[in-house]
Amino acid sequence: MRGYTLIEIGIVLAVAIILSAVSLSYSRVTKGNIALQIDQIKVVNFLNRAKSFTLERKYFTSETSKINGFGISFENQKLILFKDLEDCDKDYRYDDADECYYKERVEELPLNAKIRFSSIPLDIFFEAPYLKVYYGGNLLSSATSVVLEIIDDPSLQATVWVGPGGDISF
């Protein structure tokens, strides 16, 4: 009679358990990386959307107000696309205490619940017609970054770069 000994079965089970543990931990890291990359792409797309709206601002202009441009406000776990109206203010920032608060907000986009900004960046604003870029209300002179991280593992990060000429990369 041929069969397997208890030691052989134990070794096979041990190897199977080790392989499952490795693949399970790899799966969790991979899911986190995928969520991070998806939100990184969301930030890039939202910035490109603000830049496009700035260049095409004639489609948003009404008789009562002139649009200076569009920008992105970064809040805890969401992005807000806003327009800066000339008849309200010209500070290149999104301010929810401003009297033009509801007129300025264009769109809002939440991040994945597992992702956050490593530090809340200042607003990024694109001014028409020459696509000047402002960061926190000041003209951008060198590239700035927006850094996203996984809440459970802050060592996993993704960066989006915005240059003074309006170039956006990651």
**Is residue 95 within 8 Å of 84, Cβ to Cβ?**
no
**Is residue 73 within 8 Å of 87, Cβ to Cβ?**
no
Q: What residues have CB less than 8 Å from 37, skipping those under 6 apart?
A: 158
> What architecture does CATH give domain 6-169?
3-Layer(bab) Sandwich (3.55)
For residues 59 and 24, the model is more confident at 24
Compute the distance between CA of residue 80 and CA of residue 78 in angstroms, rounded to an integer. 7
For residue 134, what are its two tokens?
């402002």
Mean pLDDT, residues 63-90 taken together: 78
Give φ, ψ of 162 to 5 degrees: -125, 125
Give φ, ψ of 56 to 5 degrees: -110, 30
How far is C-alpha 28 from the chain's CA centre?
A: 21
Over the stretch 83-127, which tens digit does the pLDDT of each residue have?
877 766 666 777 766 566 556 778 899 999 989 998 888 899 998
Percentage above 90 pLDDT, the chain: 32
Over the stretch 25-63, which tens digit does the pLDDT of each residue have?
766 667 778 889 999 999 999 999 999 988 887 555 554
